[in-house]
């Protein structure tokens, strides 16, 4: 059996880490170019050779039609889900595919898991070169917002890359693991994760017991279209407009000049994290040089709207955890964007405490994945992870209402079961309609799966149907239904080929709040109608029995005419 590693499969960069057996601390592995960061970029040369990482990044300028980046945004999603994102990317989808995403790079097409597998295989090669022996197992991190389809797509990518994915771990949970190993902190922790393309906030509870350490995710929230890229976009748009005004030079946002400008502005942004001012000198066509001085104050004013957008999700996550900012004991910053001084000040002012920045924010998630990999490899029993499910799961009940079986932010792995019965006489089957969402009616939630459980004909209300939901440690859902009287049962693993988009999760949560009063009224009406129909059915049955003859004729007439 080969070595095991922890992998952060990121939107912008990916990393691979291991636990050093001598120091008992996690460390990231450097690639051949001397950096621990592997750009999450894949390119295909004219001969069909796959190029990954830094070399692929350079081809963004020269071969944009053969190069793809940010493929993580496409994982586990359908063509209809990503129309807005595609406007921002230069690469093309294969038009022959239905709703399954296939990206065209030159003459070949690839699915997102295949492209992610190229990145994973590159990291696998780094690790094998470092260890001098095979690497065949991994713990891979995923955003807390990833749904079943996106998690399954990540596992598929690992399998294609020749890795057995032992566990998928939420990125904020991995960050807490990394700091838990170093700091041995206990209490409630907020993990503020601002990466290149996404923002996640997670509230965790770290508990030390006689049995060991428990890392429980109390709640998660975020914005799937918010990150360092938005800051870079603001800077680029600002300078682009300045160049247009002063030098009357316009250029394509995906062209070579734009890419070089973006690279220069990212360097300025990094410089302003260390200094109070910096000067941009950017060569233009025709021998001109555009010059612009930046101060940290001017940068703060420009990017303040982006930074402020991170606070509402933080408040929602705290609300879900039933906590106030002052009740948070520790704050952890994750993601290279959190090096920005304005972000650190904003987080410190909101929580009233200095955030942890001891570990490299680019590496902390991979380091946590390595800790979890070590736990799984050596069977360490004194450390337990409790992630949560991002949306409620349930089934459709009679009349179109939703019965939630596992609620949002429930710790996983998890299982729950409920008993149901038939609504009409002599039913021969029970339709189990599995739903995901926060609304009260089935029509407003997302359909995950359907199956039918056969039951013998019987009077309404007599059969006892046990419905059981089971979510494993990777967040994959299995649903089963069993006729308690006959033992007949049926189960299904929910593994859609593409799933709900991250932004749709946010929309569903927002709508559940917006339409809460209306949904509750409709649900009450459905339940009242269902109860009335049940009473009418029972009354009709009673009138058909011999005992009904004792009713006075006048009373019987009133009932039948009602």
Catalytic residue among 148, 193, 230, 396: 193
Peptide linkage before 519 cis (omega within 30 of 0): no
**Cβ count near 493 (within 10 Å):** 14
Instruction: Pick the closest to residue 474 from 173, 180, 233 (CA basis).
Output: 173
SS3 per residue for 50-95: EEECHHHHHHHHHCHHHEEECHHHHCCCEHHHHHHHHCCCCCEECC
Q: Is residue 224 within 8 Å of 506, Cβ to Cβ? A: yes
- Exposure string over 425-454, b if 16+ CB within 10 A, otherwise e: eebeebebbbbbbbbbbbebbbebbebebe
**Structure tokens, 161:** 């890359």
> CB neighbours of 36 closer than 8 A, spacing ≥ 6?
15, 28, 29, 30, 362, 363, 366
Catalytic status, residue 468: no
> CB neighbours of 420 closer than 8 A, spacing ≥ 6?
395, 397, 403, 430, 465, 467
**Cβ count near 62 (within 10 Å):** 11
Catalytic status, residue 200: no
Q: Whole-angstrom Cα distance, residue 244 to residue 238?
A: 10
> CB neighbours of 98 closer than 8 A, spacing ≥ 6?
79
Q: Is residue 6 within 8 Å of 167, Cβ to Cβ? A: no
Catalytic status, residue 466: no
- Exposure string over 243-267, b if 16+ CB within 10 A, otherwise e: beeeeeeebeeeeebebebbebbee
Instruction: Pick the closest to residue 206 from 170, 169, 176 (CA basis).
Output: 176
Cα–Cα separations (whole angstroms), residue 298 to 238, 269, 272, 441: 12, 11, 10, 49
Rg of the Cα trace of the chain?
28
CA angle 412, 475, 373 (to 5 degrees): 85
Instruction: Pick the closest to residue 369 from 207, 187, 177 (CA basis).
Output: 177
**Burial category of 469 from C-beta neighbours within 10 Å (exposed 0-12, middle 13-18, buried 19 and up):** buried
Q: Whole-angstrom Cα distance, residue 121 to residue 157?
A: 9
Helix (H) or strand (E) holding 536: helix 516-543
Q: Is residue 44 within 8 Å of 54, Cβ to Cβ? A: no
How many residues in total does the chain contain? 562
Catalytic residue among 171, 232, 483, 519: 171
Catalytic status, residue 8: yes
- Please report how the helices 311-320 and 341-351 are oriented relative to each other, as an axis angle in degrees rounded to 10: 30
Active-site residues, by number, are 8, 72, 171, 193
């Amino acid at each position: 059996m080969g070595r095991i590693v922890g992998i952060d499969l990121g939107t912008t960069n990916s990393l691979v880490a291991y636990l050093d057996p001598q120091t008992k601390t996690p460390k990231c592995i450097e690639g051949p170019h001397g950096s621990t960061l592997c750009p999450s970029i894949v390119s295909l040369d004219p001969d069909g050779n796959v190029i990954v990482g830094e070399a692929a990044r350079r081809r963004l300028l020269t071969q944009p039609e053969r190069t793809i980046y940010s493929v993580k945004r496409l994982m586990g999603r359908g063509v209809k889900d990503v129309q807005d994102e595609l406007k921002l990317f230069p690469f093309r989808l294969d038009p022959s595919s239905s709703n399954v995403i296939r990206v065209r790079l030159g003459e070949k097409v690839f699915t997102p898991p295949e492209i992610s597998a190229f990145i994973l295989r590159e990291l696998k090669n780094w690790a094998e070169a470092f260890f001098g022996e095979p690497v065949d197992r991994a713990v891979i991190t995923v955003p807390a917002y990833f749904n079943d389809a996106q998690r399954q797509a990540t596992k598929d990518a690992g399998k294609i890359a020749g890795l057995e994915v032992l566990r998928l771990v939420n990125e904020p949970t991995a960050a807490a693991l990394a700091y838990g190993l170093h700091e041995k902190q206990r209490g409630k922790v907020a993990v503020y994760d601002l990466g290149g393309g996404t923002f996640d906030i997670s509230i965790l509870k770290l508990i030390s017991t006689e049995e060991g350490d428990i890392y429980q995710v109390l709640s998660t929230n975020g914005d799937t279209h918010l990150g360092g890229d938005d800051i870079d976009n603001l800077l680029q748009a600002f300078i682009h407009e300045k160049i247009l005004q002063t030098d009357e030079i316009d250029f394509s946002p995906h062209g070579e000049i734009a890419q070089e400008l973006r690279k220069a502005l990212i360097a300025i942004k990094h410089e302003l994290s260390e200094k109070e001012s910096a000067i941009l000198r950017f060569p233009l066509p025709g021998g001109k040089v555009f010059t612009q001085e930046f101060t940290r104050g001017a940068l703060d004013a420009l990017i303040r709207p982006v930074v402020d957008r991170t606070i509402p999700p933080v408040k929602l996550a705290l609300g879900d955890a039933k906590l106030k900012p002052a009740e948070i004991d520790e704050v952890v910053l994750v993601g290279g964007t959190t090096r920005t001084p304005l972000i650190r000040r904003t987080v410190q002012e909101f929580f009233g405490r200095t955030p942890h920045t001891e570990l490299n924010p680019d590496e902390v998630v991979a380091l946590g994945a390595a800790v979890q990999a070590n736990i799984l490899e050596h069977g360490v029993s004194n450390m337990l992870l409790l992630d949560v499910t991002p949306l409620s799961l349930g089934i459709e009940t009679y009349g179109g209402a939703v019965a939630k079986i596992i609620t949002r932010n429930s710790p996983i792995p998890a299982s729950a079961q409920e008993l149901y019965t038939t609504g009409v006489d002599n039913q021969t089957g029970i339709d189990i309609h599995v739903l995901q969402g926060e609304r009260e009616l089935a029509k407003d939630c997302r359909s995950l799966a359907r199956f039918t459980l056969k039951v013998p004909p019987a009077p309404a209300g007599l059969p006892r149907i046990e419905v059981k939901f089971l979510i494993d440690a990777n967040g994959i859902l299995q649903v089963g239904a069993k006729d308690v009287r006959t033992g007949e049962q049926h189960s299904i693993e929910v593994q859609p080929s593409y799933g709900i988009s991250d932004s749709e999760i946010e929309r569903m949560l927002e709508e559940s709040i917006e339409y809460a009063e209306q949904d509750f009224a409709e649900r009450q009406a459905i339940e009242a109608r269902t109860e009335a129909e049940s009473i009418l059915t029972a009354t009709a049955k009673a009138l058909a029995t011999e005992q009904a003859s004792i009713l006075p004729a006048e009373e019987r007439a009133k009932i039948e005419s009602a």
